[in-house]
Amino acid sequence: MILYLASGSPRRVELLRQIAVPFSMLSAPDIDETPLPQEPPLEYVCRMAREKALAGAAGAGDLPDGAVLGADTAVVLGDEILGKPADEQQALAMLKALNGAEHQVMSALALLHRDHMAVRYSITRVQFRQLSEAQLQAYVATGEGADKAGGYGIQGLGAALVASLTGSYSGVVGLPLEQVVALLDQVGIRYWQPN
């Protein structure tokens, strides 16, 4: 059976390669990622993962004996979802809000196999260091967080923003591998495969 990844994220590609699971890329799904009114953050990321898997499968047409993986990740402060910043000013505002505080990173996965959809998620608590405004501005100036939820990337330069985390590091990057392998085991897709 073939795994299809419905995502354009290079970070998700790297994480799947890390566990040596053969997969094929589908075009990144073009869906509306606006949260619904009063939608709790966990429900939002789970819905997004399902919609991405469905859109990926629909866009690919006939996928014989394959499973489509959709994923979504949100940085959540209180009940507020911090998406990708629109510009440097918004990125700095997000980092100021996260500065010295604990937030959650919610990552959801949806695996569509035939007519069955399985959904899993992880919630990781991330504690930011207390940094000066000059330090936050210096990070924003690197441009690393421009395309990332919450305006930072823990797998890169943004690692220096973080004091600690409790939960899934790979979930913060964008694909909780402990949940991925559980889904792959359910449908018989093997990982740790030689190239």
Task: For residue 57, give the CATH number of its domain.
Answer: 3.90.950.10
156 within some domain: yes
pLDDT at position 52: 97
Mean pLDDT computed over 148-177 = 97
Q: What digits encode the pLDDT tens for the residues 74-110? A: 999 999 999 999 999 999 999 999 999 999 999 999 9
Residue 193 located in a structural domain: no
Tell me, yes or no, whether 195 lies in a domain. Answer: no
Confidence of residue 65 (pLDDT cuts 50, 70, 90): confident
Provide φ and ψ at 67, rounded to 5°.
Answer: -125, 135
d(CA 139, CA 149): 15
72 as an active site residue: the answer is yes
pLDDT at residue 195 is higher than 80:
no
Asked if residue 130 lies in contact with residue 99, where contact means CB atoms within 8 angstroms, the answer is yes
* SS3 of residue 141 by DSSP: helix
Residue 194 belongs to some domain of the structure:
no
Query: What pLDDT score does 1 carry?
Result: 86
For residues 177-189, average pLDDT: 97
- 80-88: Cβ within 8 A, 24+ apart: 81/35, 81/41, 81/44, 82/149, 82/150, 82/151, 83/33, 83/149, 84/146, 84/147, 84/148, 84/149, 84/151, 85/145, 85/146, 85/151, 88/140, 88/141, 88/146
Asked if the structure places residue 12 within a domain, the reply is: yes
Mean pLDDT of 62-82: 92
Q: Please report whether residue 160 resides in a domain.
A: yes
Instruction: Please give the residue range of the domain that contains residue 98.
Output: 2-187
Residue 151 lies in a domain: yes
Do the domain assignments include residue 144?
A: yes
Average pLDDT over the chain, rounded to whole?
95
Q: What's the domain count of the chain? A: 1
Question: In the prediction, which pLDDT does 117 show?
Answer: 97
Summarize pLDDT for 125-141 with one digit per residue, the tens.
999 999 999 999 999 99
pLDDT over 90 at 27, yes or no: no
Q: Considering 72, 87, 115, 185, which one is annotated as catalytic? A: 72
